[in-house]
Amino acid sequence: MNTVGETVLKLDDVTFRRGETKILHGIDLSIGRGEHWVLIGPNGAGKSTILSFASAQVFPTSGAVDILGQRMGRVELQALRRHIGHVNPRHPLRSSLSVREVVLTGLTGTIERPFRWEPSPNEVAKADDLIAEVGLSSRAVAGWKVLSQGERGRALVARALIADPQLLLFDEPTTGLDVAAREQLLETIDSLSVTSPELTTLLVTHHLEEIPQSTSHAMLISHGQLTASGDIAEVLTTDQVSAAFEHPIDVGFADGRFSARAIRERALAVG
């Protein structure tokens, strides 16, 4: 699939209902090639639903979703998903595959290693290169069950990259990490803008402190509606973040990173 000069992800007046409940209301979104987006909003705002569209897992109730120039409903989804990487810290692996084996499952699109499947020497070499890229060479043969949560997160980044995706999704990737492990993972994500400059990324988080420095764009969602979208510096302002979370929040920015803290001395007037 060729995305040169094209929008990588486009949502056009998308709504989504679950039963009688309307989850998303008329979402319009356009993400271009090589851009790095963050999606922020409170719990229940609709972040996971937008990510499920981006991963070609869920169809909208109304409106159109185009991924890599292909419209959902007019393309074979399994073929489309092969061009989308997904880093989910809740990776449901039950066995103790090694880091190398976990990374190689990114080629088969499976959780466990397929029975009787053997990677080629070139595929193993590529896996090892990616393991080195995320700083896990010394842990390449370590089993999944003995890895720290941070090591698992970096292994999952390598797993997502081995299939050469054009769109890479991060679903709250720093969940459960201590500060050191979080910073290591964010450094790994930041490095993608150098090692894979044409790769488009979309990261979902609740916390401004967990936004990688390489992030170029942001969108805020509240009650199923995008309240702001565009250049990150124009979106993540005190007023707009406070409105999205319906709480007075002071947004800071220093050394390439955002921060947020509650404003206790004044009340937010919403609306």
Residue 48 lies in a domain: yes
Specify the pLDDT at position 163: 93
Main-chain phi, psi angles of 161, to 5 degrees:
-80, -20
Specify the pLDDT at position 6: 81
Residue 253 lies in a domain: yes
Specify the pLDDT at position 44: 87
pTM of the model: 0.91
**The amino acid at 50:** I
Residue 12 lies in a domain: yes
Tokens in use for 50?
């937008």
Residue 149 lies in a domain: no
Specify the pLDDT at position 5: 54
Residue 99 lies in a domain: no
CA distance 213 to 169: 16
Residue 126 lies in a domain: no
* Residues making up the chain, counted from first to last: 271
Residue 209 lies in a domain: yes
Specify the pLDDT at position 192: 93
Specify the pLDDT at position 3: 44
Look up the domain containing 48 and give its range: 1-83+201-270
SS3 letters for the chain?
CCCCCCEEEEEEEEEEEECCEEEEEEEEEEEECCCEEEEECCCCCCHHHHHHHHCCCCCCCEEEEEECCEECCCCCHHHHHCCEEEECCCCCCCCCCEHHHHHHHHHHCCCCCCCCCCCCHHHHHHHHHHHHHCCCHHHCCCEHHHCCHHHHHHHHHHHHHCCCCCEEEEECCCCCCCHHHHHHHHHHHHHHHHHCCCCEEEEEECCHHHCCCCCCEEEEEECCEEEEEEEHHHHCCHHHHHHHHCCCEEEEEECCEEEEEECCCCCCCCC
- List, for residues 63-115, the tens digit of each pLDDT value: 999 999 999 988 888 889 999 999 988 899 999 999 999 999 999 989 998 88
CA distance 199 to 214: 12
What's the domain count of the chain?
1
CA distance 177 to 187: 14
- The answer to whether 68 touches 8, Cβ cutoff 8 Å, is yes
pLDDT mean for each 10 residues of the chain (271 residues) = 70 93 94 96 92 93 94 89 91 93 93 91 96 95 94 95 95 91 94 93 94 97 95 97 95 95 65 46
CATH number, residue 233: 3.40.50.300
